[in-house]
């Protein structure tokens, strides 16, 4: 991977800033900007082809996560995708759903809402920033309908062993529902290899697209079992006698933000051209350098240090957090301060020199 060429040709923001904030919002890229401008010109020519181009974006996401096109549908964001799953599954009183206390609200509230149907919500406690398989195992039983978890935890960066969790869930007849917004784009996602049932991801973080687009993967065998409580013209056919589509598109609703899907499609095609495996290798190399450097400096690590738990998200604390944040802001770093500490999220366009420079600032404020 020619990082300098990628920075020069695709990411002009790197000329003026050290952008280490993919876990919050991805930076704008030239391919995305050009795609969005082109769509606006097409709109002016009354030839925007929004539905076709949204379908193309879904196909691109399907390639990214190694799924078929029929298993992916368009959603406005991650939250909507997860909620669509939660509201389309069937429940009987006495069933339970397993979540955890590290999740973003996007993967909590849809399941909390099912309690009105008599569903028991079981909350697994995270330990040292991660959700342990053995703790899920203590909560699961044959009445478990869903295990809901993030691929990568948004505050700690802990990467879940989705394949092992899927095996556990399926042994009990449960579904694995994954919030993938901190995974897709930064990691090499293979939904078939991981054996997940549902995987939702929004456009604007590691996928580097505009806000307003999202994708939902649904395992093929589960599609026709999903009956959404409400549905729209994009999910059904038949006029006054509607019939739900026999693809994941049955969970689509109304007209999407075409511009958002056009821009995100351009970003995903950029990933596919560069190579998803190479991107993951690059992301994990940079986060590894950051882990090693922070450990050497003796700061308090929030993110798990074990190699198998690492992702592109690294969170830590020092004794002078305010001073460190001010120092980094004044030096042109784009980062996030979160409740648990300073969150750094380097992507493939970042460099080893930028990580070294960050560590120098940490050294002055540890």
List Cα–Cα distances, 139 to 63, 98, 122, 168, 175, in angstroms: 34, 7, 7, 11, 14
d(CA 216, CA 74): 7
Indicate if 253 and 341 belong to the same structural domain.
Answer: no
User: With bands split at pLDDT 50, 70 and 90, how would you rate the model's confidence at 298?
Assistant: very high
CATH number for the domain that contains residue 131: 3.40.640.10
Residue closest to 191 by CA, chosen among 180, 181, 182: 180
Looking at 205, 237, 272, the residue that finishes a domain is: 272
Burial class (CB in 10 A: 0-12, 13-18, 19+), 222: middle
**pLDDT reading at 183 higher than 80:** yes
The pLDDT of residue 275 is: 96
Which of 209, 240, 272 is the endpoint of a domain?
A: 272
Shared domain for 298 and 162, answered yes or no, is no
Q: How does pLDDT run across 337-360, given as a tens digit for each residue?
A: 999 999 999 999 999 999 999 999
Chain CA centroid to CA 86, Å: 18
8 with 156, same domain: the answer is no
**Cβ distance 65 to 190 under 8 Å?**
yes
Beta-bridge partner residues of 19: 334
How many domains does the chain fold into?
A: 2
Give the span between the Cα atoms of 82 and 196, in whole angstroms: 14
**One domain for residues 135 and 237:** yes
Pair of tokens at residue 53 = 């181009």
CATH of residue 304 = 3.90.1150.10
Using pLDDT thresholds of 50, 70 and 90, give the confidence band for residue 45: confident
Tell whether 262 and 289 lie within a shared domain: no
Shared domain check, 202 and 79: yes
Region at 332 (left for phi over 0; alpha for psi -120 to 50; beta for the rest): left
Cα-flanking dihedrals φ and ψ of residue 239, to 5°? 60, -120
226: pLDDT strictly greater than 80? yes
pLDDT digits (tens, 9 = 90+) for 91-150: 999 999 999 999 999 999 999 999 999 999 999 999 999 999 999 999 999 999 999 999
Question: From residue 285, how far is each of 12, 70, 155 by CA, in Å?
Answer: 23, 34, 20
Q: What is the pLDDT of residue 84?
A: 97
CB 115, CB 143: distance < 8 Å: no
Question: Domain residues for 130?
Answer: 32-272
CB atoms within 10 A of CB 326: 12
Burial 109-143 (b: 16+ CB within 10 A, else e): ebbeebeeeebeebebebeebbbbeebbeebbeee
pLDDT for position 48: 76
With beta carbons less than 8 A apart as the criterion, state whether 162 and 187 touch.
no
> Is there a contact between 335 and 182 (Cβ–Cβ < 8 Å)?
no
């Amino acid at each position: 991977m020619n990082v300098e060429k990628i920075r020069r040709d695709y990411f002009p923001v790197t000329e003026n800033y050290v952008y280490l904030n993919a876990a919050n919002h991805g930076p704008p890229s030239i391919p995305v900007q050009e795609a969005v401008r082109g769509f606006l010109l097409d709109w002016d020519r009354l030839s925007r082809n929004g539905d076709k181009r949204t379908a193309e974006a879904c196909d691109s996401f399907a390639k990214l996560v190694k799924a078929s096109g029929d298993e992916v549908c368009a959603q406005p964001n991650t939250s909507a995708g997860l909620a669509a799953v939660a509201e389309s599954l069937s429940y009987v009183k006495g069933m339970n759903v397993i979540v955890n206390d590290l999740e973003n609200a996007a993967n909590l509230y849809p399941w909390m809402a099912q309690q009105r149907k008599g569903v028991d919500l079981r909350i697994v406690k995270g330990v040292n920033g991660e959700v342990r398989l053995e703790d899920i195992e203590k909560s699961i039983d044959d009445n478990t309908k869903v295990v809901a978890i993030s691929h990568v935890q948004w505050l700690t960066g802990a990467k879940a062993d989705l394949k092992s969790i899927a095996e556990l869930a399926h042994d009990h007849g449960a579904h694995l529902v994954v919030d993938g917004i901190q995974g897709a784009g930064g990691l090499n996602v293979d939904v078939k290899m991981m054996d997940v049932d549902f995987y939702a991801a929004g456009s604007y973080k590691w996928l580097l697209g505009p806000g307003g687009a999202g994708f939902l993967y649904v395992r093929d065998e589960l599609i026709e079992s999903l009956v959404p409580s409400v549905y729209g013209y994009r999910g059904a056919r038949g006029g006054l006698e509607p019939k739900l589509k026999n693809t994941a598109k049955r969970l689509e609703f109304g007209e999407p933000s075409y511009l958002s899907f056009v821009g995100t499609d351009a970003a995903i095609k950029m990933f596919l051209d560069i190579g998803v495996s190479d991107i993951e290798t690059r992301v994990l190399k940079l986060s590894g350098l950051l882990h090693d450097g922070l450990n050497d400096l003796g700061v308090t690590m929030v993110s798990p240090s074990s190699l198998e738990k690492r992702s592109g998200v690294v969170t830590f604390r020092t004794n002078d957090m305010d001073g460190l944040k001010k120092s980094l802001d004044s030096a042109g770093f784009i980062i996030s301060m979160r409740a648990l500490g300073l969150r750094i999220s380097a992507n493939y366009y970042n460099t080893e020199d930028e990580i070294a420079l960050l560590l120098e600032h940490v050294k002055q404020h540890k």
